[in-house]
Amino acid sequence: MSFRQGYYTIITKVEGSECQVSRATSEDLNLDPKYIWALKPGVSELRPWLIKKTDGYIDLEVLGTHTGVTKGISERKPFAFIDDRPSEVGAIGWILEPTGDPDTYRIKTKDGRLYWQFGDRELSQGRIIELAEKSGDPRQEFKFYLHREVNFRQRLDPEWERKYGRVPEIPLTDRKQRRFRA
């Protein structure tokens, strides 16, 4: 599949409204893995995803955190890993399956068994993204809007990185320290 690496906004339709897919707009400060949400309609803050190709899979990184499935917590939801604790991180990496509509994909686990799908219940932030078996359900369709292509041999301009995220890997200890600096 030909997918360009870069910064994207991921959108899904919830009851006819376009909703941005991201981490929550407000989260607790612990280092536990965070849910991925179909945020409530009207969230206007740009929350881009950095999408890279790694080892034949797609790495979906949101707000500076890798996403994947966990060991032990729940294998029926994708999570954003604030802290890459080996005891919790199951598999990082996804497969994007085209739906036939332009720029629209199903996101499936590395083993190809489960797909992202937003949940039935409306919560304070929106609807939690879950993992489910493939179905014809439109809740499994996600539209990718490219903001900026990235050549990982070059750095992005500093203003973009400051505002929307990093490109180079930051060692975990630096990431933790930076998170708690005001």
Mean local confidence (pLDDT), 84-92: 67
Token pair in block for residue 14: 């919830």
Record the pTM.
Answer: 0.78
Residue 19 has a pLDDT of 94
Is the pLDDT confidence value at 86 over 50? yes
Residue type, 148: R
| 6-15, 135-144, 161-170: least confidently modelled range | 161-170
Reported as a pLDDT band with limits 50, 70 and 90, residue 76 is: confident
Average pLDDT, the chain: 81
pLDDT score at 54 = 84
Query: What confidence category does residue 47 fall into, taking pLDDT thresholds of 50, 70 and 90?
Result: confident
Fold of 6-180: Trefoil (Acidic Fibroblast Growth Factor, subunit A) (2.80.10)
